[in-house]
A and B are shown apart, each in its own frame.
Chain A
């Protein structure tokens, strides 16, 4: 009961903080010079409305010129999300497969070790122009960039996870009669999965970063393209509107990962778990 009250008050404080920040922002935007650099939250909200809603709003006291109902963001958002999801899925599968492979064969990992370290420390965003050259200005150059970001996070987590599987678990499975394939399926894979999930939260965000940065550096569609266009005309409100939309969708993707994690990882102990009687 007390925890309910507590979470209510917590929500109230969080809401208050949001209102204060937005209010302060709005008031400071009365100064034209500040508004040029920081934008105006009301205009940003209007921009987001026009992006998503096909309904026109006539002039009123908040929006002097009214709002257009263009509903034209979906193709851009769809492209960006497609790139993100593709990179996320391909990167996760490839990272998991390579992590398992290298984790289980010490010789190969010893040979590849310096190259993996180099590839990981390289600032991979620099690869964007090369990927544009190889894969063109369509979605695949963005998928490739985001893939390189996702892959290494998942790879390192699985690699470490496989090497840290308790030797007793392995010995026990072998004594129970597991062959190499069964050992992989019943011990290594499930063990690696728990490590993958801890990395997926950071990698889903980075998949988004890869896709948007890729678009930003050269494309004809996508959220990164929209933001670049707005910057070209010093339209700071549209830039901020794009940031808000991207943030919301990154949170949604993260929530999706959490939901899947909760389903698959229900065996993991949660703190202070008690049974309802």
Chain B
């Protein structure tokens, strides 16, 4: 079986500004996301998690190494992937339903059909009645729901998520996590989910990949999560198996978090 996403020895080196030394964000990273698999990628802050995701999306060309999408080498934008960004990505001059229709319009789908599909998805993410609101009239959680509908309405084979819920309060966040799991269970798409929250990673995914602290981030751990589905992200945290997995991963992650933190302090002291 070919993997949905396969990174092979991917490195990303960023040119320094004004002649300063170049920065190796990601070094020799090989990892895969299988078809229908929910993979969470965790790592300390600033370790290059988003860089990896941008490479998978085709928004960023790696300095070396290759990406394969369902067996095909990736050239340009990854057409089979949907991307949920960490920060606000809705167009403020479009209403909720118009934002969800955006990708369909890019694909030249008839206006009427696109609107019906968009309304259907807005209802699925619980935003019936909010179709004509502009994004400043929606709460943070609602905006995330619109963004989710915007991505899922195109029915992508791979879903890339970059800490999509990190800006939400804890209750909204757990609600959204459960809803995403529910939607995912229906379709079983490949998901690459970036987070710095280990609880979130374990409770949602089939597999957790741990990244080292930057620079030159690379995977240092790969943990299978064999928890039963369907899951409730709040309840599963008390499952003894969850706690065991959490301890195993944290043992690896802790050192990296401390390393990443001390590096940030050094950078600040220098600056």
Residues of A141-192 whose CB lies within 8 A of B: 166, 168-169, 171-179, 182, 186-187, 190-191
B102 touches A173 (CB 8 A): yes
Tell me which residues across on chain B come within 8 A of A191, comparing CB atoms.
93
B190 CB, nearest partner CB in chain A, Å: 16
Residue of A nearest to B160 (CB): A175
Does A123 sit within 8 A of B, measured CB to CB? Answer: no
Determine the residue in chain B with the shortest Cβ distance to A173.
B102
Q: With A and B bound together, what is the CA distance between A173 and B92 in angstroms? A: 13
Across the interface, which residues of B come within 8 angstroms of A166, CB to CB?
88
What mask results when residues 3 to 16 of chain A are scored 1 for a CB within 8 Å of chain B, else 0? Answer: 00000000000000
Question: Would you list which residues of chain A between 171 and 215 have a CB under 8 Å from chain B?
Answer: 171-179, 182, 186-187, 190-191, 193-194
Measured in the bound complex, the distance between the Cα atoms of B107 and A178 in whole Å is 8
The interface size of chain A toward B, counting residues with CB under 8 Å, comes to: 22
Contacts A174-B59, A175-B81, A177-B107; is A169 near B91 (CB within 8 Å)?
yes
From B103, which residue of chain A is reached at the shortest CB distance? Answer: A176
Chain B residues in 8 Å Cβ range of A177: 77, 79, 103, 106-107, 154
Other contacts beyond A168-B85, A174-B77: 6, CB < 8 A: A171-B57, A171-B89, A172-B83, A175-B81, A176-B106, A186-B102
- With a 10 A CB-CB cut-off, give which of B57, B102, B134, B136 has the most chain A CB atoms: B102
| Interface flag for A269 (CB, 8 Å) | yes
- When chains A and B are docked, how far (Å) is the Cα of A171 from the Cα of B59? 7
Given the known inter-chain contacts A176-B102, A178-B106, please indicate yes or no for A267 contacting B81, CB distance below 8 A.
no
Q: Does B94 contact A (CB under 8 A)?
A: yes
- Measured as residues with beta carbon below 8 angstroms from the partner, the interface class of chain B is 20 to 34
| Chain A min CB distance to B268 (Å) | 25
Expressed in whole angstroms, the Cα–Cα distance for A173 and B87 within the complex equals 14
A175 to B81, CA, bound (A): 8
Q: How far is the CB of A189 from chain B (nearest CB, A)?
A: 10
Contact A186 B91 (CB under 8 A): yes
Interface hits, B96-118 → A, CB 8 Å? 102-103, 105-107
B243 shortest CB reach to chain A, Å: 36
Flag if B154 contacts A267 (CB, 8 Å): no
Tell me whether A169 and B103 are in contact (CB under 8 A): no
The one of B81, B89, B154 in contact with A169, judged by C-beta atoms closer than 8 angstroms, is B89
B137 neighbours in A (Cβ, 8 Å): 269
Q: How far is the CA of A269 from the CA of B133 in the complex (A)?
A: 11
Which residues of chain A are within 8 angstroms of B106 by Cβ–Cβ distance?
A: 173, 176-179, 182, 186
Distance in angstroms between the alpha carbons of A267 and B133 in the assembled complex:
9
Complex Cα distance, B106 from A67, in Å, reads 66
Q: Kindly state the separation between the CA atoms of A187 and B89 in the bound complex, as whole angstroms.
A: 11
* Pair A175/B77 contact, Cβ less than 8 Å: yes
| Main SS at interface, chain A | helix
Chain B interface (Cβ within 8 Å of chain A)?
A: 54, 57, 59, 77-79, 81-83, 85, 87-89, 91-95, 102-103, 105-107, 134, 136-137, 150-151, 154
How far is B94's CA from A191's CA once the two chains are assembled, in angstroms? 11
CA distance A99 to B54 in the complex (A): 29
Chain A residues near B82 (CB-CB < 8 A): 175
Identify the interface centre among B92, B94, B137, B151: most chain A CB within 10 Å of its CB.
B92
Asked whether B136 lies within 8 Å of A269 as measured between CB atoms, the reply is yes
CA distance A178 to B77 in the complex (A): 10
A166–B93 alpha-carbon span in the complex (Å): 13
Structural contact, A267 and B89, CB atoms closer than 8 A:
no
* B107 partner residues in chain A, CB cutoff 8 A: 177
Q: Mark A260-277, 1 if CB is under 8 A from B, else 0.
A: 000000011100000000
A201: min CB distance to chain B, Å? 19
Tell me the minimal C-beta distance from A188 to chain B in angstroms. Answer: 11
Asked whether, in the complex, the Cβ of B92 is within 8 Å of the Cβ of A267, the reply is: yes
Whole-angstrom CA separation of A186 from B134 in the bound complex: 15
Q: Residues of A contacting B85 with CB < 8 Å? A: 168, 171-172
Provide 24 A-B residue pairs closer than 8 Å at the C-beta atoms, listed in order of the A residue.
A168-B87, A169-B89, A169-B91, A171-B83, A171-B85, A174-B59, A175-B59, A175-B77, A175-B78, A175-B81, A176-B106, A176-B150, A176-B154, A177-B106, A177-B154, A179-B106, A186-B102, A187-B91, A190-B93, A193-B93, A267-B93, A268-B92, A269-B134, A269-B136
A267 touches B134 (CB 8 A): yes
Assembled-state Cα–Cα distance A193/B54 (Å):
29
Residues of A within 8 A of B105 (CB): 182, 186
Q: Is the CB of A267 within 8 A of B88?
A: no
In the assembled complex, the CB of A57 is this many whole angstroms from the nearest CB of chain B, namely 53
The residue of chain A having its C-beta at the shortest distance from the C-beta of B94 within the complex is A267
With both chains docked as a complex, state the minimum distance between the C-beta of B128 and any C-beta of chain A, in angstroms: 18
Closest to B88 in A: A168
How long is the Cα–Cα vector from A195 to B151 in the complex, in angstroms?
A: 28
Select from chain B the residue with minimum beta-carbon distance to A175: B83
